[in-house]
Amino acid sequence: MKIGFDHKKYLEEQSKYILERVNNYDKLYLEFGGKLLFDLHAKRVLPGFDENAKIKLLQKLKDKAEIIICVYAGDIERNKIRGDFGITYDMDVLRLIDDLRSYELDVNSVVITRYEGQPATTVFIKKLEHRGIKVYTHKATKGYPTDVDTIVSDEGYGKNPYIETTKPIVVVTAPGPGSGKLATCLSQLYHEYKRGKVTGYSKFETFPVWNVPLKHPLNIAYEAATADLKDVNMIDSFHLDAYNKMSVNYNRDIEMFPVLKRIIEKITGEEAVFKSPTDMGVNRVGFGIIDDEVVKEASRQEIIRRYFKTSCEYKKGYVDEETLQRVKLIMEELKLKQEDRKVVIPARDYSAELKHKFNKNEPCPVVALELEDGTILTGRSSEVMNSTAAVILNAVKHFANISDGIHLISPLILEPIINLKLKTLGSKNTALDCEEILIALSICAATNPTAQVAMEKLIMLKGCQAHSTTILSRSDEQTFRKLGIDITCDPEYPSESLYYNN
């Protein structure tokens, strides 16, 4: 993989800059946008970026930092799914707490925002409290966003309970956007100033990257990633007016800046030190870019991946047509085609060949996989296994120089598993999925040295690209994610079945 980003340089620059900001206050509330852990978008568009860069940055500051996690009650109530993990937001809060603790970071509490006694949220609160997690609830802020006098009063932020914190950096994070991080920071600012503490607010948002051009593919890829939020990158007019310098921000921050500035000034009783939304940020990711052309190409490929993802979500009914059209327009703006993703044509061509060969009306599921050296392998569905499983077996055979005619998994292993699914568990689909095939391979590896060699090659799949001619099951999506494979799908179901395609 060509590297376009210097992770070490970025960590040094970023930690230094945050500490400089902290030195101005008794306490700094740092709103963390994007993913605190497993920032796969950043990893894909900035080759060389560590997906856990933010958490490693915090680990360097762990003696000075504690963490508050926000989650919007409405997201819990409607079982909102975090797309890159396939889990609900409430479960992602639990995962986040576990992961933060594994890095020896102090989790202060969980804040349930805009809580109005929703039943599922109430159950979640009890679950957290029974496990010893402190929970605070915030209602919608009265007067927000226009009535600043009410917002900054005992009827506004004063209605929220004060969250006791002890360290100079308080990181406020969340499973996803719209979770109430900003409101929580400002509420705490209000309470801190009432207690006589000089407290500051800053924002750590990786994208858009303020010091690369507005129409750079890196920033356009962010628009594609947030098409459902209707985010639009813009020149920060406040920054341009104040410093006569171009910088990039997104519409929501720019639109909210005048109100946010007035709220902070009302809380502190002083003129705000920030003259622009860019000033509020502490992001230094742009300074870690070492090869702009590599980053541009990686960003273009991410835009194509986002197009396929949005097309599938539209097919499933998760996003509206406007969101799909926004991503299509982004593709057209950069003159990108679906076929610019190398694995698309081999997958579609093989599928069309099989469809003609077997004279089938339904799609023939095929997965094409591009290895790091540019080799493209394919796998198709059969009565025994899914196309995802077939292509993974083909790949590990390729890495291990094992002949295509050699069976890695003995029929003596496969038959009992298929019978278990069919006869005991009553499954309608007996073909083994990717995870089931890998479990079967691991069993064979205990007695078969060839299978053991193949198993050891699975690690070489990390960073590979794949495309499926049909929508994958959630299980197969998650297995590919765990293997580190970036997969896209055509927006077609593998069959007309309604329930068994999910």
Amino acid (one-letter) located at 369: L
Angle at 493 between CA 492 and CA 499, to 5 degrees: 150
- The percent of residues in the chain predicted with pLDDT above 90, rounded, is 77
Q: What is the 3-state secondary structure (H, E, C) of 465-484?
A: EEEECCCCCHHHHHHHHHHC
Q: Is the dihedral of CA 191, 124, 79, 108 positive or negative?
A: positive
337/356 Cα distance (integer angstroms):
25
* Upstream peptide bond of 217 is cis (omega within 30 degrees of 0): no
Chain-centre distance for alpha carbon 374: 26
Q: What's residue 219's pLDDT?
A: 97
**Greater confidence, 188 or 84?**
188
Q: Order of strands, edge to edge, in the sheet holding 106-113?
A: 135-137, 106-113, 65-72, 169-173, 27-32, 199-204
How confident is the model over 187-191, as a mean pLDDT? 96
Q: Any idea which of 252-266, 413-427, 474-488 has the lowest mean pLDDT?
A: 413-427
Q: What's residue 92's pLDDT?
A: 92
**How many residues does this entry show for the chain?**
502
Q: What's residue 316's pLDDT?
A: 92
Q: What share of the chain is helix, strand, coil (3-state, %, to 5)?
A: 50, 15, 40
Q: What's residue 78's pLDDT?
A: 87
When computed from its CA atoms, the radius of gyration of the chain, rounded to whole angstroms, is: 25
Contact (Cβ atoms closer than 8 angstroms) between residue 347 and residue 378:
yes
- Is the pLDDT reported for residue 502 higher than 70? no
Q: Is the dihedral of CA 188, 190, 195, 197 positive or negative?
A: positive
> Six-digit token pair at 276?
């622009």
How confident is the model over 329-352, as a mean pLDDT? 97
Contact (Cβ atoms closer than 8 angstroms) between residue 44 and residue 298:
yes
Q: What's residue 83's pLDDT?
A: 65
Contact (Cβ atoms closer than 8 angstroms) between residue 172 and residue 181:
yes
Q: What's residue 338's pLDDT?
A: 98
How confident is the model over 149-173, as a mean pLDDT? 95
**Greater confidence, 164 or 36?**
164
Contact (Cβ atoms closer than 8 angstroms) between residue 388 and residue 476:
yes
- Is the pLDDT reported for residue 490 higher than 90? yes
53/42 Cα distance (integer angstroms):
10
Strands (E), 255-362: none
Q: Any idea which of 84-88, 177-181, 480-484 has the lowest mean pLDDT?
A: 84-88
Q: What is the pLDDT of residues 353-397, one digit of tens each?
A: 999 888 888 889 999 999 999 999 999 999 899 999 999 999 999
- Is the pLDDT reported for residue 498 higher than 80? no
478/233 Cα distance (integer angstroms):
31
- Is the pLDDT reported for residue 207 higher than 70? yes
Q: What's residue 499's pLDDT?
A: 63
The mean of the pLDDT values for the chain is 93
- Is the pLDDT reported for residue 342 higher than 70? yes
The structural domains of the chain, ordered by start, are 7-213+235-288 (3.10.630.10), 343-489 (3.40.140.40)
- Is the pLDDT reported for residue 500 higher than 60? no
Instruction: Collect all residues with Cβ–Cβ distance below 8 Å to 478 and sequence separation of at least 6.
Output: 85, 86
DSSP strand pairing (376-380 vs 486-489): unpaired
How confident is the model over 107-114, as a mean pLDDT? 97
Q: What's residue 495's pLDDT?
A: 80
Residue given tokens 């926004």 in the structure block: 326
- Is the pLDDT reported for residue 501 higher than 70? no
- Within 61-195, residue ranges assigned H as helices are 73-77, 89-102, 119-130, 148-151, 181-194
